[in-house]
Amino acid sequence: MYKVVATDILKPVIPEEAILRENGASLIYGDCKTEAELIGLTQDADAIINVYARLTAKVINSLRRCQVIVRRGIGYDNVDVEAATAKSIAVVNVPDYCTDEVANHTMALLLCTARRVVPAREQVKSGRWDFRQFLPIPALKDCTLGLAGFGKVARAVAERAKCFGLKLQTSDPFISAELASEHGVKLVSLEELLSSSDFISIHVPLTNDTRGMFSKREFAMMKPSAVVINTSRGPVVNEDALREALQSGEIAFAALDVMIQEPPIPNSPLLGMDNVIITPHLAWYSERSARVAGEKAAKEIVRVLKGYFPQSLVNPEIKAKVHLREKD
């Protein structure tokens, strides 16, 4: 029987077990926090399902017979893909299980900041009742939403934002103006997006090029009334620069579902700021998306164990190194 290891998911939330068992694989559950724990759990695994744990080169080089690592989510920046490729291990992600959820959460954060929902709630809880404290509140039809990146999630956000009358623009070096126009969105430079948007929603993957992409220079370009929303990856935003921009009035609000360190340190300055909303990396989740992510992860493993390339292969370079077949 094949051995599949889930590195860091609590057993009650994953549906993979039945799919794997039906295909001759057992599933071992872990809650690994350190390299030593990961090595001890995974070194004899045929396949790995990973969420938050960091699969470093040291961990990957300890694997004796692993054929595939599935990152049970969209991003795979916590997997050393280069080390896996060198070991002829397929790396797979699950790119399309939570598009609606993240888009919905993005719009929820936008609306909460636009309508001052959180501070208004706190005012009423404290026994006060004065809407004037939260003025000015612009009409959404008079506002522009700038989407930094225009992948699946950003496009889903755009469709939702149209219902509120927001003007839409995006900056993405990998798409054409024609494609943006097909979605009713104007393609602009990043500088124009930053300077002219009322809401700036970040939808870029975490890479060497995007790490710290939003820092002092970028915040300085924004309107004093601007709202920054991040549902992508925490390290895309320089949090010290964000805090300074919020404290100085360079920008007005931030709404974050992701942070550089998760959970953040208890004394993180952002946690105590009235013009910041933080949710605990919640955007991806619904009962449906959690189930779909597990099902797709398990099916990708089954494909590999049966001798086929996975559908969402992150490192296609291994195709020249491993004896797997293509499958329609």
- Catalytically active residues, by annotation: 233, 262, 281
Sequence-ordered list of residues with C-beta below 8 angstroms from that of 279, at least 6 positions apart, any chain: 105, 109, 256, 257
> Distance between CA atoms of 80 and 49, rounded to whole angstroms?
14
For residue 215, the SS3 value is: coil
* Side-chain-side CA neighbours of residue 148 (13 Å): 30
Listing from the earlier edge strand, what are the strands of the sheet with 25-29?
Answer: 25-29, 2-6, 47-50, 68-71, 90-93
Q: In 72-215, where does DSSP find H-type helix?
A: 81-86, 99-114, 117-125, 152-162, 177-182, 190-196
> Distance between CA atoms of 137 and 18, rounded to whole angstroms?
51
C-alpha dihedral sign at 239, 244, 247, 248: negative
The vertex-86 CA angle with 323 and 26, nearest 5°, equals: 60
Backbone angles phi, psi at 264, to 5 degrees: -70, 160
Task: Report yes or no: 36 and 81 within 8 Å, Cβ to Cβ.
Answer: no
Please give the helix or strand (H or E) that residue 4 lies within, else none.
strand 2-6
